[in-house]
Amino acid sequence: MTEKCDVLILGAGAAGMMCAIRAGQRGRSVIILDHARAPGEKIRISGGGRCNFTNIHAGPKNYLSANPHFAKSALARYTPRDFIALVEKHRIAWHEKTLGQLFCDDSAKDIIRMLLAEMQAAHVKLRLETSVSTVSHDGGRFRVATSGGVIEAESLVVATGAKSIPKMGATGFAYQIAEQFGLPLIETRPGLVPLTLDPAALERLSPLAGVAVPAEVSHGKTAFNEALLFTHRGLSGPSILQVSSYWREGDTIRLKLEPASDIVALLRQAKQKNGRQSAQTALAEILPKRLAQHVVEKSGLTGNLADMSDKALTTLANEVQDWQIKPAGSEGYRTAEVTLGGVDTTCLDSRSMAAKSVPGLYFIGECVDVTGWLGGYNFQWAWASGQAAGEFA
Ligand code: FAD
C-alpha cells in the first residue's frame, strides 16, 4: 500500500523537525522519518548535554560557504530571537555561557521534547527506525521506498545531516540524493575538529598533554581568541576547533598563548621586584606550571632574571606568544562536530532551500554547504534553513 502526504522529510534531526513543524502549521500533511531509534540524537549530546541551541550574535559572517551570501536570507527571516521565543514558550530555562552562546540550564532533552510537542501540535507523523531504499520522481511527485512501505509526496525535504560522527548514524545520504538529481556538491571535509601533530612535534609537546591555556589561534587573517588544549594527539579546545574549519593540509597556524598579557612587561616587573627568581618561576605566575617549564627549557634561558637582558626577556615572551605550528592532519569525521562543504548552494533557492532544477525537492541543515562556527551557530542554521523550507514545501 502506498501512503500519501504533502511533505515527506528525510531525517528527524534539528533541521528536519523544524521544517516539519512549520509545514505542519501551514496545514500541510507531513511525514518525517529517521533510521535512528530516537529523533534529534545530535541535539541530545550537544553542548555537553545542555545544547548550545543558538548564538545571539549569529549572522552570515559566522558561516563558511563557497557562497557567503547564501545563508543571509534564511538567517534574517528566522533569528536567534525567534528560537529563544519558542524556548521560552515551552518554559525551558536557559543562560548565556560566554560569547553569546545560549545553553539550556537543565538538559538538551528539553529542546527535543519541545520540538516533539510542536510537531504533535502540528499533526506531524514521525516514523523512527525507518530506512530509505530508493527515491524516484515521477509526474511531479516523489516516491520513496522505505522499510515501512512506499510513501508518495508532493515535496521531499532532505535533512539527513552530514558525515560527522558516523558512530551516531551519520551517512552522507543527502549527497547521494543530490547526485541522483544531478545537483553539484562542494567537496566535504571535517570541521570543528581537533588537529593532530607529527610524531616529532608530539614528542616535544607530550609533557603539555592536558594543559589548557587562553590563546589567540590564527590562520591567515582569521583569528579566534578562546581556550586551547594540548592533547596526547595534538591540539584541541575551542580556538583550535574554530581554526580547524579554515585550515587545509600543509597550512601553518599561529598560536599566541595568554594573548591578553604583556609578557615582556611582566618579566621586567618580576626582574625588578626579585631578580634572583628564575624565569620559570616568574612565568608560572601567569602560565600553567608545565607550560612555563616547557617555554624556558625551549629557550635555554634557565638562569635568574637578574642575569637576563631585555633581548632575552623578549625571546622568552616570543616563546609564549609566537608559536608557528604545521599540524599533520585532523582527527577526521570520527570526532568532527560538523562537515564542511555539501550540496552546492548555487543549485538552491536561498529563500526556500528548494533545488532550482527539481520542483518540490529541498535540502536543509548540515548537508548544505553552509557551516557555522563553534558556539550555537550550527543549530541556528538548522533552525533557520528548516523554517525556510517549511514555509514553502
Ligand atoms: P542532524 O542533526 O545530524 O540530523 C540528521 C538526521 O538524519 C539524524 O537524526 C540521522 O539519524 C538521520 N539520518 C541520516 N541518514 C539517514 C538515512 N539514510 N535515512 C534516514 N535518516 C537518516 N551545534 C550547535 O549549534 N551547538 C552545539 O552545542 C553543538 N554541539 C555538537 C556536539 C557534537 C558532539 C556534534 C557532533 C555536533 C554538535 N553541533 C552543535 C552541530 C549540530 O549538532 C549539527 O550542526 C546539527 O545537528 C545539524 O542538524 P541537521 O538536522 O542538519 O542534521
Per-residue pLDDT tens for 11-20?
A: 999 999 999 9
Q: ipTM strictly over 0.85?
A: yes
What ligand 1 atom has the least distance to the C-alpha of 172? 15
pLDDT over 70 percentage in the chain: 100
Q: Is the CB of 165 under 6 A from ligand 1?
A: yes
User: Is the CB of residue 18 less than 8 Å from the CB of residue 43?
Assistant: no
User: Is the CB of residue 260 less than 8 Å from the CB of residue 275?
Assistant: no
**Distances in Å between the alpha carbon of 312 and those of 68, 320, 324?**
45, 13, 20
Separation of CA 335 and ligand 1 centre (Å): 13
Q: Is the CB of 238 under 6 A from ligand 1?
A: no
| Grid coordinates of 391 | 514555509
Separation of CA 334 and ligand 1 centre (Å): 14
| Grid coordinates of 305 | 632574571
Q: Is the CB of 74 under 6 A from ligand 1?
A: no
**Distances in Å between the alpha carbon of 201 and those of 32, 235, 295, 311?**
48, 11, 14, 26
Average pLDDT, stretch 352-372? 98
Distance CA 166, CA 12 (A): 16
With residue 389 as reference, give the H or E element that holds it: helix 377-392
The helix/strand/coil state of 206 is: helix
Q: Is the CB of 47 under 6 A from ligand 1?
A: yes
| Grid coordinates of 173 | 545520504
Distance CA 168, CA 41 (A): 8
**Distances in Å between the alpha carbon of 44 and those of 191, 366, 385?**
20, 16, 20
Q: Is the CB of 171 under 6 A from ligand 1?
A: yes
The helix/strand/coil state of 22 is: helix
What pLDDT does 7 receive? 98
Separation of CA 13 and ligand 1 centre (Å): 6
Per-residue pLDDT tens for 257-304? Answer: 999 999 999 999 999 999 999 999 999 999 999 999 999 999 999 989
Separation of CA 366 and ligand 1 centre (Å): 7
Q: Is the dihedral of CA 342, 347, 350, 354 positive or negative?
A: negative
What ligand 1 atom has the least distance to the C-alpha of 376? 25
| DSSP code for 202 | H
Distance CA 121, CA 109 (A): 18
Q: Is the CB of 163 under 6 A from ligand 1?
A: no
Indicate yes or no: pTM above 0.95: yes
Per-residue pLDDT tens for 133-181? Answer: 999 999 999 999 999 999 999 999 999 999 998 888 788 999 999 999 9
Length of the chain: 393
Separation of CA 184 and ligand 1 centre (Å): 22
What ligand 1 atom has the least distance to the C-alpha of 169? 11
What ligand 1 atom has the least distance to the C-alpha of 364? 52
Separation of CA 355 and ligand 1 centre (Å): 21
**Distances in Å between the alpha carbon of 31 and those of 34, 130, 363?**
10, 12, 16
Q: Is the CB of 36 under 6 A from ligand 1?
A: yes
Name 323's Cβ contacts closer than 8 Å, sequence gap at least 6.
Answer: 254, 255, 256, 257
Q: Is the CB of 11 under 6 A from ligand 1?
A: yes
Q: Is the CB of 337 under 6 A from ligand 1?
A: yes
Name 41's Cβ contacts closer than 8 Å, sequence gap at least 6.
Answer: 13, 168, 169
Per-residue pLDDT tens for 56-110? Answer: 999 999 999 999 999 999 999 999 999 999 999 999 999 999 999 999 999 999 9
The helix/strand/coil state of 166 is: helix
Q: Is the CB of 278 under 6 A from ligand 1?
A: no
- Please name which of 271, 279, 294 lies closest in space to residue 211, comparing C-alpha atoms: 294
| Confidence category of residue 1, pLDDT binned at 50, 70, 90 | confident
Separation of CA 280 and ligand 1 centre (Å): 45
- Please name which of 385, 13, 338, 10 lies closest in space to residue 174, comparing C-alpha atoms: 10
Distance CA 338, CA 6 (A): 30
Distance CA 16, CA 231 (A): 35
